């Protein structure tokens, strides 16, 4: 197993190019199940989760050709298998995204109940309930979701009790080949959901309400779509993480290949902490502040503050002058990085889903810490950048699920970081 060694308190400067968004690429790869033609995809992040989903699509009978590290051509017309097996689904919850398109196209599928990060319950019951409303017969048997719709799915009005990103994506894809019109009410509005809808619209699907909380889709009655080639949007969470690297080291740092309008909530919090933000069409520069101010933040659905940035801001709050309050509203186990930050000397108190962080600049000390999930891992990297001495981050396979070329990008801006075998 590999670990990451960081020597802290090195001055950072320069630029970081942001990769394609993993959370946009996963549903878009699943959506190619609905395509009758070969599709070229550009700006695909070369991370473990993407390679896992490509492996799953290959097991189902599709084929792909790598044009470069970040570009592929994929053909799914050859899919002849509709069972997504446990050995692959257990490693990544996003595998559930094949459920909607497989069922919509073939009228039956078996998908293992998912695994992935241990950040709390993310039940798929909202997905299943919606598919049942569209006429699917769902059975859970031996750890698998068995779904059938012998005459195809039927359009329906789906009201999500709770906003769900993967639920919205799954039902958008299911509705694409359904018979009749589907309305999704209380739909997620994340940029990743928007891109999925836009790619399907470009493929000829009649879809309205993109970017709103009500999406209407007229299904094609099981006729496959003619996809256009597309480019994955930049990863707003990776972008936010590198901005936090600049912030925690209180230095000037520029990120490129980014869409600033996807990051309003994060940029607003950085400004609240005293940093100056400069934006162009596709770059963001963070400038140092004389004094990092504490903040209050509450995670919520887009366009609010993303839960995927909570751990990184908690690491940043350890360097503020005063007490910051973090309210985690979306996942009940998303504070597993707290114990590891405490080991480094952070002053954090937890009460239910609220964390109080008493910041003391330069108080963190490097030590051995353990990554517990993808975003917790990035919080430990940020803490390691500012800590005195040496930080060893173990179980970094979590980081590899979502951050492309992490060491190379950090080395490029002056960090002292290397990967070693345990």
Cβ atoms of 275 and 288 closer than 8 Å: yes
- What are the CA-CA distances from residue 294 to residues 69, 239, 264, 272, 335 (Å)? 40, 21, 19, 8, 19
Query: Rounded to whole angstroms, how far apart are CA atoms 141 and 200?
Result: 32
Query: Rounded to whole angstroms, how far apart are CA atoms 136 and 39?
Result: 29
Order of strands across the sheet that contains 322-327: 296-298, 322-327, 354-359, 347-351
Query: Rounded to whole angstroms, how far apart are CA atoms 248 and 362?
Result: 10
Tell me which of 117, 197, 244, 249 is the catalytic residue: 117
What element of type H or E holds 88? helix 86-89
Is residue 421 classed as helix, strand or coil in its secondary structure?
Answer: strand
Asked if omega into 303 is within 30° of 0 (cis), the reply is yes
Cβ atoms of 204 and 232 closer than 8 Å: no
Based on the residue annotation, tell me whether 416 is a catalytic residue of this protein: no
Q: Which residues contact 59 (CB under 8 A, 6 or more apart)?
A: 81, 84, 85, 88
Place of tokens 């049942």: 132
Q: If you write DSSP's letter for every residue of 323-375 in order, what string do you get? A: EEEEE--S-TTTTTTHHHHHHTT-EEEEETTEEEEEE-TT--B--EEE--SHH
Token pair of 202, please?
């470009």
Cβ atoms of 410 and 417 closer than 8 Å: yes
- Helices 310-317 and 374-386, interaxial angle, to 10°? 20
Cβ atoms of 256 and 280 closer than 8 Å: no
Cβ atoms of 310 and 375 closer than 8 Å: yes
**What region does 228 belong to: left with phi over 0, alpha with psi -120 to 50, or beta?**
beta
- What are the CA-CA distances from residue 168 to residues 182, 190, 230, 233 (Å)? 12, 10, 21, 18
- The catalytic residues are 117
């Amino acid at each position: 197993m590999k670990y990451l060694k960081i020597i802290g308190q090195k001055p950072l400067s320069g630029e970081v190019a942001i990769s394609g968004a993993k959370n946009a690429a996963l549903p878009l790869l699943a959506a190619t199940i609905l395509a009758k033609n070969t599709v070229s995809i550009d700006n695909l992040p070369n991370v473990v989760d993407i390679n896992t989903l490509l492996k799953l699509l290959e097991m189902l009978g599709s084929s792909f050709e790598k044009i470069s590290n970040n570009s592929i051509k994929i053909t799914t017309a050859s899919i002849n298998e509709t069972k997504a097996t446990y050995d692959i689904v257990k490693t990544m919850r996003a595998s559930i995204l094949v459920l909607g398109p497989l069922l919509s196209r073939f009228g039956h599928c078996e998908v293992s109940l998912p695994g992935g990060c241990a950040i709390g319950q993310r039940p798929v019951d909202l997905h299943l309930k919606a598919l049942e409303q569209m006429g699917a017969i769902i059975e859970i048997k031996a750890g698998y979701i068995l779904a059938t719709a012998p005459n195809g799915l039927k359009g329906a009005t789906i009201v999500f009790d709770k906003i769900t990103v993967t639920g919205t994506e799954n039902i958008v894809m299911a509705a694409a080949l359904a018979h009749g019109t589907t309305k999704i009410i209380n739909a997620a509005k994340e940029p990743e959901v928007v891109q999925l809808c836009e790619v399907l619209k470009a493929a000829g699907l009649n879809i309205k309400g993109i970017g709103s909380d009500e999406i209407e889709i007229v299904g094609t009655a099981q006729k496959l779509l003619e996809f256009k080639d597309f480019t994955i949007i930049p990863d707003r969470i990776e972008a936010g993480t590198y901005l936090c690297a600049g912030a925690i080291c209180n230095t000037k740092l520029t990120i490129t290949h980014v869409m600033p309008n996807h990051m309003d909530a994060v940029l607003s919090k950085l400004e609240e902490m005293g940093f100056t933000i400069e934006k162009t069409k596709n770059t963001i520069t963070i400038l140092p502040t004389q004094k990092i101010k504490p903040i209050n933040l509450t995670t919520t659905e887009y366009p609010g503050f993303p839960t995927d940035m909570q751990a990184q801001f908690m690491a940043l709050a350890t360097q503020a002058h005063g007490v910051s309050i973090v309210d985690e509203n979306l996942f009940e186990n998303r504070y597993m990085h707290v114990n590891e930050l405490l080991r480094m000397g952070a002053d954090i108190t937890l009460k239910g889903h609220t964390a109080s962080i008493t910041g003391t600049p330069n108080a963190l000390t490097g030590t051995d810490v353990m990554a517990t999930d993808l975003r917790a891992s990035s919080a430990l990297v940020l803490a390691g950048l500012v800590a005195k001495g040496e930080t060893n981050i173990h179980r970094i396979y979590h980081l590899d699920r979502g951050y492309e070329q992490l060491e190379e990008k950090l080395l490029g801006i002056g960090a002292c970081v290397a990967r070693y075998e345990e």
